[in-house]
Amino acid sequence: MESATQQRCLDCALRPDRVFCDLPTNVLAALDTVKSTIICPRNMVLFREGQPAKGVFVLCEGRAKLSVCSESGKRLTLHIAVPGEVLGLSAALSGGPYEVSAELLDNAQVAMVKRKDLLGFLREHREACLHVVDLLSQDLHIAYDRVRSVGLGRTRRARATSL
């Protein structure tokens, strides 16, 4: 793992297409002051299920496998995260342990924001805080759909998106 040349979020050409990166310019400028950007090799584990959450990770480049482990040691892949996704968000906000493990599938560039800095950033930037609420709500709906699919053998119809 090595430090990357600190790319400003505002300079990222892919920013408008990414979920967390589409924030107002003043909020992204403030995010640049609290994040650290690192280059990580393929197969690196960003965090493990059960470890105390130290912060959040935003994938700038590369993909990550999110998985959980059973008591018998069997791993179940829950999701493949793509650039722009925020990893470890609910754990960092709650101050609890990470609920999943995140392992990089590719060489990746990752922005990391420490928990303390994230909380201060969200206190000062309402737009980012509301965006985080939306991300957590989406995660919850996905989890509901998975439980519904496993437990009832059906999925819910697509939700209409609201403005």
- CATH architecture group of domain 2-152: Sandwich (2.60)
Question: Looking at residue 159, what is its pLDDT?
Answer: 56
Residue type, 19: V
Across the strands, what pairs with 97? 52
**How far apart are the two ends of the chain, measured CA to CA in Å?**
39
pLDDT tens digit sequence for 107-141 = 999 999 999 999 999 999 988 878 788 887 787 76
Are the C-beta atoms of 57 and 104 separated by less than 8 Å? no
Task: Reduce the DSSP state of residue 36 to 3 states and report it.
Answer: strand
Percent of the chain with pLDDT over 90: 48
- Give CA 102 to chain center in angstroms: 10
